[in-house]
Amino acid sequence: MTSIKTKKNLFLKCAVAATLCILFLWLLYSPSTVYQQQPSSVKKDVSSLDQIGVNQTCSATKDGQPATEYAVMIDAGSSGSRVHVYRFKVCNDPVLEDEVFHMLSPGLSSFKEDAEGAAQSLSKLMEIAVQSVPKESQGCTPIAVKATAGLRMLPGQQSKNILASVRKYLETYPFPIADVEIMEGKDEGVYAWITVNYLLGKLKKSQRGQSAAVFDLGGASTQIVFEPSFHIPTESMTEGDHQYNLDYQNSTYELYQHSYLGYGLNEARKRIKNEMITTWKDEASRTGQVYHPCLPLNHQEDFESSNGTVIKLIGTGAGHAECRGIIEKVFNKDKVCELAPCAFDGVYQPPLVDTFKGNDLFVFSYFYDLTKPLGMPSEFSVRELGELTEKVCKGETTPFQHVPNAIKTLEDNPDFCLDLTYTYNLLRFGYDIPSDRLVRTAQKIKGAETGWCLGASIAMLDEAKLCLTA
């Protein structure tokens, strides 16, 4: 009897052990576990950005274009030049498959009277373009150089001479030249709107009414573009240059857009520093120095004022509130508003709080460059941006101790308080975005750079039709 009981116990133990082994093996090699163990690709796949799941296995399009096309776009910005080389699958509508991106400094506008030097500064970018486009496709890959506000602000013939020299330089390469031009501010903003909404999949017919607003902050200008929604039949957007009717994939979008020249971060920084000199002009002319609340305590720098006089600026580290008081003056909120309602500088803008209540707000370029190094998430409220600004302007370091390189970044840039305060005021005080409204920021969306270049390249490909196979 004891022998039988012992055998039963032994059998039960073996059965339990076998069951546990089978369960372990099932967990180890189940489909979900195997998938988790697969290494992730280093290179991001952006082949399904617009038309997820659409079969793109064709050799040529209906109009004779090859299935794969390339476009080269050079962004000649105020702070540097950037090349974007895009590869598209274009069986139906263009679907982005890959992007090569590289940037360098300084920008074309920094060369001023040295037009040939400006053109030669693009040599590294052109080398990358040649390496990125297959040789057999180079002869039908359009290239464009589009300069933004920095070149637009050069005096006299300087900008025209630089553009002429750049065109001559590009003619030594195999790419057909689509454009070498100074882009209008409204196009810069609308192309950025196309880029962001294309990458988010918001330009599909099923997503009508869900488009995101874009706010771009460059070195010399800032742009706002959104699709306002008027809920009362008698209301509509007031007519004017701010209107932009965009035709895209058989749909029409009525957009509001405006580009504020002189309100980019670099230009605004100059105006903010000059504002104190203007306010204390007697002190500046008498002593050659002025104290500035937006600069760190005891920081000193020589600054060339608007009248050409070099004045020493001395930081007081006074904090966010005093700095904000100076910065609000540059927005010209008191300027006559001929077409109401106005945002700032006397410019009409449909109120975001009424005409764009729930859709995403995307802020990028310097908005991203200033917040990401300090550990801000990709989505935050305008109030949280203000709180971050207060900490930076107080000189606090404790909140940033666990953010890699954040403290060094702050120490290396004495303008950080000024820049963040301007950025916060631009959103809250300038564009009048409520404090509790969330904004999203990104350098890339699904692996592709934000900004106007992708949108401009899609338009350029549609117009070029260079690679006919039949």
- DSSP for 4-27 reads HHHHHHHHHHHHHHHHHHHHHHHH
Binned at pLDDT 50, 70 and 90, residue 248 comes out as confident
Which of 262, 215, 236, 188 lies closest to 456 in space, CA to CA? 188
Active-site residue (options: 69, 97, 99, 188): 188
Compute the average pLDDT of residues 304-317. 94
Mean pLDDT is lowest, of 3-7, 269-273, 423-427, 459-463, for: 3-7
Compute the average pLDDT of residues 450-470. 80
- DSSP for 357-372 reads SSS-EEEEEHHHHHHG
State pLDDT tens for residues 158-217.
Answer: 999 999 999 999 999 999 999 999 999 899 999 999 999 999 999 988 888 899 999 999
Q: Is 188 a catalytic residue?
A: yes
- The one-letter code for the residue type at 266 is N
Which of 241, 235, 246, 242 lies closest to 256 in space, CA to CA? 242
| Half-sphere exposure for 126 (CA within 13 Å, toward CB) | 18
Known binding-site residues for ATP equal: 219-223
> What is the token pair recorded at 406?
């954040």
* Alpha helices (runs of H) in 218-355, residue ranges in sequence order: 265-279, 281-287, 320-327, 352-355
Which of 73, 74, 122, 65 lies closest to 94 in space, CA to CA? 65
State pLDDT tens for residues 11-41.
Answer: 444 444 544 444 444 433 333 332 222 222 2
Q: What is the C-alpha to C-alpha distance for residues 400 and 392, in angstroms, rounded to an integer?
A: 10
Residue 224 pLDDT: 98
Residue 13 pLDDT: 47
Compute the average pLDDT of residues 110-137. 96
- Tell whether the model's pLDDT for residue 93 goes beyond 90: no
Would you say 251 and 205 are in contact if contact means Cβ atoms under 8 Å apart?
A: yes
Question: In the chain, what are the domains?
Answer: 68-183+452-464 (3.30.420.40), 188-263+330-445 (3.30.420.150)
Residue 468 pLDDT: 57
Residue 409 pLDDT: 96
Would you say 151 and 159 are in contact if contact means Cβ atoms under 8 Å apart?
A: yes
> What is the token pair recorded at 234?
């008698």
- Tell whether the model's pLDDT for residue 54 goes beyond 50: no
Q: Is 29 helix (H, G, I), strand (E, B) or coil?
A: helix
- Tell whether the model's pLDDT for residue 292 goes beyond 70: yes
Known binding-site residues equal: 219-223
Residue 254 pLDDT: 94
Compute the average pLDDT of residues 79-98. 89
Q: Is 214 helix (H, G, I), strand (E, B) or coil?
A: strand
